[in-house]
Structure 1
Amino acid sequence: MSKKILPFLLFLSAFSNFQAQDKAESALEIFTEKYPQEKIHLVFNKNSYIAGENLWFKSFVFDGYSPSTISTSLFVELYDRNKTQISKKLVPLINGEGSGSFTLPDNLKEDIYYVRAYTTWMTNFNEDFQALRPITVYNPSSPQKLTIDNTSKWTAAVFPESGTFIDGINTKFAVRLQSKGLPPSDWNGYIVDTAKPDVKITSFKGFDQNVGSFSLTPKAGVKYQLIVDDLKGNKQTIDLPNVSDSGINLQVVSGNDAVKFNLKSKNIAPGTLYKVIGTISNQLVFKAKSTKILEQTYSIPTEQLINGILQLTVFDDKENIVAQRLCFVQPDLLKIKKPSLQSLSVNGSPRALNSFGLPQTSDGRDYTVLILDGNSDSSEDENSLLSTLWLTGDITSKIYIPSQYFTKNHNSDALDALLISEKWKRFDWRSIMAGVYPIIRYTPQSYIFYKGKVSVQGKPAPNTDLNLLFEMPNQGIKFYQKKTDANGFFSLNGLFFEDAIKFSYQLNDPKIPKEQVQVIFQPNYAFVPYKNSLPESNYNLVQRSAEDQPNSQIERYIETKNTQSLINEKATLIEEVQLKGVKRDKTKELNEKLSGPLFKSANEMIFDLVNDNNTALGSMNILQWLQGRVAGLTIDSDMGTYIPKLRGSQVSIYLDEMKIDPSQISSISTSDIAMVKVIKDYFAGGFGGGGAIAIYTKRGGISGSISDSTAPTKLKQITLNGFDKETPFVGPVYNDENFNNISHDYRNVLYWNPSLQTQSKEPAKVQFFNNDDAKSYKVIIMGYDEKDYTPIYYNEIIK
């Protein structure tokens, strides 16, 4: 892996007696270069479910603080509390994003379930960094029911800033609460000298249900204790660390303009050499090394940094760690792009139509849009895209409602105290400096990868040409030719298809009867079993009595499940009628039919040779015909071969989405070409490259087809499985009379679109119909602007 995680960060230095790179920096450089770190955010269409419903999810996969390009497939699994796998899905990732759905069985027992998500690359590292989200599923027919755990005891722990507690140095402490159930929302603490337990030295009130803080100037020889209590009378006593008579305390203040720090010391010899290293997402962003480092305050400007966790580590002259501290960069200046809702039209009447538009993102990426009844809970309420990106994606300990630290009215002091109580666990300095790095057992493949073996009369067929015909849904027939290796093996990688497709095959040697040929395929990817124990939830299971009745929320869920079945039936009928009666844009239809998901871009120019551009038929070479028709595109000639260039750089050529050499173009008759697409920017199918010319030949169902749709039936066939197909999300269309007989509508989820595409000329339109009683709407819009390295986030109630 050679990608820099944060190539845009400013590298600052404050050197005295500058020396060559030391062991810590060298180890970090290797770790950053070869072991990039992915993290996953999952958002669900709602916060809780009833057995028999569909669960929709959207995934965002980041490499540090940017959308990941490492992995192109996501593994998603559903577990019960006993770690029994109920279902699993394989989801494609395009630009680090993917979506899918689970159908929850009707007989699923009421309980807490867990959705686990990970990539192949992530399985090389600690399982704690994989996404594991609890899901509440209700079932009134289940013999047991869920109740919130309000009785579990909480525990408290105390953490001095930078890990040191030194005589005479005023030290900030974080106090951290943990509980199996709900931690107390109102709690307090105070400090005493164990020799004078009735005298409070200092006291404080907890910030939230996770953390509180206090400061204390200790005296050598004194034993200190922390007493924490809540309003219910629960109390804990914790011993503070012993007071040291020498050492260094790292003190940090993170502001909007700079992160400032200094080193307070006691009984340290003058002229001792120390080094301070600052890292964000495992990348070096600051270094200071000096014999005078204890005598001044350092300031790290934040104007060219990004929001995220900064780790500061102090090393002595032998590169031993003497102090460490985590802090958040610009906690009160969160860099978030908030999209504007254009032409907003809201009508609070039952089943009324509501709408708004969204502008195109600067890099053409899609939005994820979720609209709920304003009284409903969302999975974003607990752990949001922002809290995953900036906190829980890198912090593995349990945090109660981490989203609270990145809301409009967040408490920055609470976030700072939380980070004092944490350590960076993506890597351990001592391990990597000793040359101990993660063992890479699994390398990411491009989308779906199959290995194949060819046998003739039961014996391997080495160095043999194999012809493969794919029957691709909505894309006609594609032809591939593979050559086996010395043992009869070959590989198929970069496959992108849903459900299953049929392969037809034959050897290129006509002398070998097809009955003697056997081809066996084996997927070169696998779901990896989860080894850790599942986390405890905030709920208990208790026996359901005969008198128990569903509460109002469950009753609405039951009614909605029944209503949704009727909505699905009506919507299917309407769609069938519309497909017959609506005349679609022919070029757009041709593009949708021929182009796979990886070859679609917001910056593409399409030439339709089926319905338009008849002048191309008179040209001997399609590249020559393109000359002068695309701004920035030039066609050079080299020994009779036409070479296309965009803005002076040669671009790749694809024939039916397979990369070919420019010399092969001359053999393609323009009469056999259905469409040409010039892509001027990055697209997923280019795998990191920028720009391409994609040529599509005529196929079955397209006028002038040259494909023989019966060809595969004459050959031996095999079926391969692809990505799992997502169940379409369907809402009612109340301006159509077909929906008039729906008696009750209590839907929580009014709109769900995990990939709302935007166009450059006009805003993307969002339309949804009200349920029977909603008067407000929770609108959640998510995305990422890679040009500015900024999350796009909107989560507000509109009325």
Structure 2
Amino acid sequence: MSKKLISFLLVLIALGHFRAQDKAEKALEVFSEKYPQEKIHLVFNKKNYIAGENLWFKSFVFDGYELSPVSTSLFVELYDSNKIQISKKIFPLVNGQGNGNIMLPESMKEGIYYVRAYTTWMANFNEDFQTLRPIIVYNPSSPQKLVPDDHEKWTASAYPESGTFIDGINTKFAVRLQSKGLTPSDWSGYVVDAEKPDVKITSFKGFDQNVGAFSLTPKTGKKYRLIVNDTKGNQQTLDLPSVSDSGIHLQVTSTNEAVKFSLQSKNIAPGTVYKVIAMMSNQLVFKVKSVKILEQSYSIPTNQLINGILQLTVFDEKENVLAQRLCFVQPDQLKIKKPALQSLSLNEAPRASNSFTIGQSPDDEGYSVLVLDGNSESSEDENSLLSTLWLTGDIRSKIYTPAQYFTPNHNSEALDALLLTETWKRFDWKTIMAGTYPTISYQPQPYISYKGKVSIQGKPAPNTAMNLLFNMPDKGIKLYQVKTDANGFFSLRGLIFEDAIKFSYQLNDPKIPKEQVQVIFQPDYAFIPFKGSLPSSNYILADRAAEDQPTAEVKRYMVTKSTQSSINEKATLIEEVKLIKSAKDKTRELNEKLSGPLFQGANETVFDFVNDNNNSAQGFQNVLQWLQGRVAGLTLEMDMGNYIPKLRGSTVSIYLDEMRIDPSQVSTISTSDIAMIKVIKDYFAGGFGGGGGGAIAIYTRRGGITGSVSNSTVPSKLKQITLNGFDKETPFVSPVYGNDNFNSISQDLRTTLYWNPNLQAQPKEPSTVQFFNNDEAKSYKVIIMGFDSKNYTPVYYNESIK
């Protein structure tokens, strides 16, 4: 959660008796500032797969309740049920979002597999908070098949509100079901006095497959038992906690207007000072400390809070934790920005063209769009973007279909009961108040980073200048210079490229023979071994009989797999690029033509002086003046008569045709000579240690000549190095019916009709989605996701349309 959000949350503290910070508040402030908590949501292009298919995914990485600025690389791994790693890949994150694919090998046996996703920063904390998503992979040729595990026994646990059960105080209990397989959907329970087992004191019916609730006012000396039954005759009996004759009980009610709480007590000495702290995402939002706290109720207004989990903790005078409670803020008033679908042109005829537009929204940076056959299931049906953001990203216990708690017809009473069974596990109060915080072993590196060491005749080469030469198609040879430190080391940070990149190197000193020079590179990032256990699934493997036939779903996947192979073969490269909606526009082509590999930034703003009308720049003597106001966060300061550009308060370097220049030289550049200006707001490798604050790169209409090596044979005469970058995503290809290349496809049963993880929002016009029907669909399931960073609000649409 950003500091901007903190500023208006802390206003609520004035409702309490706030004095100097105590130990808990200080510890919480340190933890919040120094240990941001990332969590990841993955959405797949469909729910289940067949061996030999591609799995495409989109990732959202959050820090609390906003997109995370911490990490720029996402590590994705695939495991089988025996925890054997099948695949591992790394993908870039831009403003907390990324996408990619995993090829599921043809040889995979039918079973449950697990997609693990994490950032290096997340590896510093409890491994349970990393993302582990089970997927079903079918394979009709496997000797075993998957069947639902509905024979596994379930267990029930009872949780009194705030963890206390005190004589004479009415207490709400939540009953939680857990199982390695499926829990029952229809179940109930009742409470009896152990001495009178035939008399029911209270009864209840489960809300869902996770939880139920009841209330009970206990009496000292009584022993209470809970009996839980399902409709199949299974039963479990458990003793409720012993009744205490003294203590403090925290009661909480969450409504759309406020979170109300009170402290009930029994046999507590008067004059004792208690403190209640409320926090969201590890940040303080409310505090009250008083000797009269037991005498009144309190209300935390929710009009300035966001949706999410609120934790209330009760402390005594010595700051011991007496009671805790989790609840959800505004459970029946979910702040979701729902995109507007417009200009619907739908045709249910086989292979017909369909389209719609997403209404203009200036706050949205872009959307992820998935269109499925209306009868198909999505990974969002079980764990949605909303449930990850607001629930499972911070609650790691097994929850059956957590997405159900944030649908339009959700049961907020069930959600409250679910949270009553949970505790906040991002940190432990006692531990952080003792000054013990997580050990940071992994720092978030900017994109792809490498360490290099230069040696001459086997000895380190300190403070040595070395040239790196990149031979780029259509760009000529780009030359960059690096310098080693006192131990002969240098680093390349913020590299953004896919697959592999080759370059040559030579020392600046021509007297040193190249045979005596050795450069060794090693990645400055690493995949982190998975130490934990895989979660249980709702399926087991059973032997496949010779007469067993594939299910209708598997048959469909088999046909789709064959169809997709035919689609891929028939699509030419040009058509494929067109199909995935990534046709290069002129500005992108210019950027790729002029920019070298070290001047690629994931977060960059490009001004095209060749294809766009930027004539207004000609009215400025210094192009930096023209840039101000056109780039968010860019300011200018005058120093010795020169304009010094700054981004977010940090001075940025200026480059002319990728050669660093002094700010005084910018005024000598005529705007008529400029082909492109690029403002990089993030790490980029061309900065060589100084690239963390970004750059302003100016390219002239002869861009690529300055700073280039004219002799194209030079690299071949030098030693070459190959570095691996991000894994390249396989394009998602859909047919374009009406095109002769696709008309010969015999059968089309695709479940995924459209997949675009990066549909750019248009600033002045709606964004268009076009797709072609399969042979059967009569309705379409449309899922649109994004995030409004200005209002800390998820953008979400998940509905069927006809």
Deviations 1:287-308 (A, max 9, x none): 0000000011100000110000
State yes or no: 1:80 paired with 2:80: yes
Q: What is the rounded CA distance, in whole Å, between the counterparts of 2:492 and 2:707 in structure 1?
A: 30
Q: What is the rounded CA distance, in whole Å, between the counterparts of 2:532 and 2:679 in structure 1?
A: 48
Q: What is the rounded CA distance, in whole Å, between the counterparts of 1:716 and 1:668 in structure 2?
A: 37
- Following superposition, the deviation at residue 690 of structure 1 comes to 9.8
Q: What is the rounded CA distance, in whole Å, between the counterparts of 2:679 and 2:706 in structure 1?
A: 22
Q: State which of 720, 732, 741 in structure 2 corresponds to 1:717.
A: 720
Match of 1:607 in 2: 609
Q: Is the 8 A contact 2:476 2:708 kept in 1?
A: no
- Following superposition, the deviation at residue 792 of structure 1 comes to 0.3
**CA 1:94–1:743 in structure 2 vs 1: closer, same or farther (change >3 Å)?**
same
Residue type matched to 2:88 in 1?
K
Match of 1:25 in 2: 25
- Following superposition, the deviation at residue 222 of structure 1 comes to 0.2
Q: What is the rounded CA distance, in whole Å, between the counterparts of 2:28 and 2:733 in structure 1?
A: 49
Segment drifting more, 691-700 vs 556-565: 691-700
State yes or no: 1:765 paired with 2:771: no
Residue type matched to 2:722 in 1?
T
**CA 1:325–1:55 in structure 2 vs 1: closer, same or farther (change >3 Å)?**
same
Q: Is the 8 A contact 2:276 2:287 kept in 1?
A: yes
Q: What is the rounded CA distance, in whole Å, between the counterparts of 2:691 and 2:192 in structure 1?
A: 60
Residue type matched to 1:738 in 2?
N
- Following superposition, the deviation at residue 469 of structure 1 comes to 2.1
Q: What is the rounded CA distance, in whole Å, between the counterparts of 2:635 and 2:36 in structure 1?
A: 38
Q: Is the 8 A contact 1:168 1:219 kept in 2?
A: yes
Aligned 1:374-773 pairs, distance under 5 A = 374-471=374-471, 477-572=477-572, 575=575, 586-594=586-594, 598=601, 605-608=607-610, 624=622, 638-639=639-640, 641-643=642-644, 653-655=654-656, 661-663=662-664, 665=666, 674-677=675-678, 693-696=696-699, 709-773=712-776
Q: Is the 8 A contact 1:67 1:96 kept in 2?
A: yes
Residue type matched to 1:383 in 2?
N
- Following superposition, the deviation at residue 693 of structure 1 comes to 3.9
Q: What is the rounded CA distance, in whole Å, between the counterparts of 2:62 and 2:578 in structure 1?
A: 39
State yes or no: 1:145 paired with 2:145: yes
Segment drifting more, 555-564 vs 626-635: 626-635
- Following superposition, the deviation at residue 434 of structure 1 comes to 1.1
Match of 1:179 in 2: 179
Q: What is the rounded CA distance, in whole Å, between the counterparts of 1:317 and 1:612 in structure 2?
A: 68
**CA 1:658–1:551 in structure 2 vs 1: closer, same or farther (change >3 Å)?**
farther
Q: SS state of the match for residue 13, structure 2?
A: strand
**CA 1:474–1:281 in structure 2 vs 1: closer, same or farther (change >3 Å)?**
farther
Deviations 1:731-766 (A, max 9, x none): 000021221100000001001111111221221111
- Following superposition, the deviation at residue 708 of structure 1 comes to 5.4
Residue type matched to 2:347 in 1?
N
Segment drifting more, 34-43 vs 755-764: 755-764
Residue type matched to 2:430 in 1?
R
Residue type matched to 2:182 in 1?
L
Q: SS state of the match for residue 11, structure 1?
A: helix
Residue type matched to 1:761 in 2?
K
- Structure 2 residue runs of 5 or longer lacking an equivalent are none
Residue type matched to 1:624 in 2?
N
Match of 1:797 in 2: 800
Q: What is the rounded CA distance, in whole Å, between the counterparts of 1:291 and 1:81 in structure 2?
A: 55
- Following superposition, the deviation at residue 666 of structure 1 comes to 6.8
Q: What is the rounded CA distance, in whole Å, between the counterparts of 1:537 and 1:566 in structure 2?
A: 34
- Following superposition, the deviation at residue 65 of structure 1 comes to 0.5
Q: SS state of the match for residue 12, structure 1?
A: helix
Q: SS state of the match for residue 24, structure 1?
A: helix
Deviations 1:461-486 (A, max 9, x none): 11111111234677664432211122
Q: Is the 8 A contact 1:778 1:798 kept in 2?
A: yes
Q: What is the rounded CA distance, in whole Å, between the counterparts of 1:393 and 1:647 in structure 2?
A: 30
**CA 1:703–1:430 in structure 2 vs 1: closer, same or farther (change >3 Å)?**
closer
Segment drifting more, 689-698 vs 362-371: 689-698
- Following superposition, the deviation at residue 657 of structure 1 comes to 6.8
Q: What is the rounded CA distance, in whole Å, between the counterparts of 1:636 and 1:37 in structure 2?
A: 36
Q: Is the 8 A contact 2:478 2:709 kept in 1?
A: no
Q: Is the 8 A contact 1:468 1:506 kept in 2?
A: yes
Q: Is the 8 A contact 1:256 1:302 kept in 2?
A: yes
Match of 1:783 in 2: 786
CA root-mean-square deviation = 3.2
Q: Is the 8 A contact 1:586 1:611 kept in 2?
A: no
TM-score using structure 1 length: 0.92
Q: What is the rounded CA distance, in whole Å, between the counterparts of 2:513 and 2:352 in structure 1?
A: 66
Q: Is the 8 A contact 1:463 1:483 kept in 2?
A: yes
- Following superposition, the deviation at residue 715 of structure 1 comes to 2.4
Q: SS state of the match for residue 414, structure 2?
A: helix
Segment drifting more, 326-335 vs 683-692: 683-692
Q: What is the rounded CA distance, in whole Å, between the counterparts of 1:195 and 1:443 in structure 2?
A: 59
**CA 1:386–1:186 in structure 2 vs 1: closer, same or farther (change >3 Å)?**
same
Q: SS state of the match for residue 737, structure 1?
A: coil
Q: What is the rounded CA distance, in whole Å, between the counterparts of 1:584 and 1:195 in structure 2?
A: 78
Match of 1:320 in 2: 320
Match of 1:232 in 2: 232
Q: What is the rounded CA distance, in whole Å, between the counterparts of 2:198 and 2:748 in structure 1?
A: 61
Q: SS state of the match for residue 114, structure 2?
A: strand
**CA 1:65–1:600 in structure 2 vs 1: closer, same or farther (change >3 Å)?**
closer
Q: What is the rounded CA distance, in whole Å, between the counterparts of 2:19 and 2:733 in structure 1?
A: 64
Residue type matched to 1:534 in 2?
L
**CA 1:7–1:652 in structure 2 vs 1: closer, same or farther (change >3 Å)?**
farther
TM-score using structure 2 length: 0.92
Match of 2:300 in 1: 300
Q: Is the 8 A contact 2:465 2:484 kept in 1?
A: yes
Q: Is the 8 A contact 1:627 1:634 kept in 2?
A: no
- Report how many aligned residue pairs link the two structures: 790
- Following superposition, the deviation at residue 359 of structure 1 comes to 3.3
- Following superposition, the deviation at residue 81 of structure 1 comes to 0.7
Deviations 1:347-393 (A, max 9, x none): 10000011111234434512111111111110000000000000000
Q: What is the rounded CA distance, in whole Å, between the counterparts of 1:600 and 1:787 in structure 2?
A: 17
Q: What is the rounded CA distance, in whole Å, between the counterparts of 1:281 and 1:300 in structure 2?
A: 16
Q: What is the rounded CA distance, in whole Å, between the counterparts of 2:46 and 2:474 in structure 1?
A: 32
Match of 1:44 in 2: 44
State yes or no: 1:245 paired with 2:234: no
Q: What is the rounded CA distance, in whole Å, between the counterparts of 1:285 and 1:626 in structure 2?
A: 42
**CA 1:89–1:7 in structure 2 vs 1: closer, same or farther (change >3 Å)?**
farther
Match of 2:278 in 1: 278
Q: What is the rounded CA distance, in whole Å, between the counterparts of 1:626 and 1:274 in structure 2?
A: 58
Q: What is the rounded CA distance, in whole Å, between the counterparts of 1:34 and 1:704 in structure 2?
A: 41
Match of 2:64 in 1: 64
Q: SS state of the match for residue 730, structure 1?
A: coil
Match of 2:366 in 1: 366
**CA 1:389–1:712 in structure 2 vs 1: closer, same or farther (change >3 Å)?**
same
Segment drifting more, 706-715 vs 763-772: 706-715
**CA 1:667–1:509 in structure 2 vs 1: closer, same or farther (change >3 Å)?**
farther
Q: What is the rounded CA distance, in whole Å, between the counterparts of 2:8 and 2:87 in structure 1?
A: 40
Q: Is the 8 A contact 1:5 1:32 kept in 2?
A: no
Q: SS state of the match for residue 198, structure 1?
A: strand
Q: Is the 8 A contact 2:683 2:694 kept in 1?
A: no
Q: SS state of the match for residue 29, structure 1?
A: helix
- Following superposition, the deviation at residue 270 of structure 1 comes to 1.5
Q: What is the rounded CA distance, in whole Å, between the counterparts of 1:558 and 1:132 in structure 2?
A: 26
Q: Is the 8 A contact 2:657 2:704 kept in 1?
A: no
**CA 1:718–1:17 in structure 2 vs 1: closer, same or farther (change >3 Å)?**
closer
Q: What is the rounded CA distance, in whole Å, between the counterparts of 1:444 and 1:629 in structure 2?
A: 31
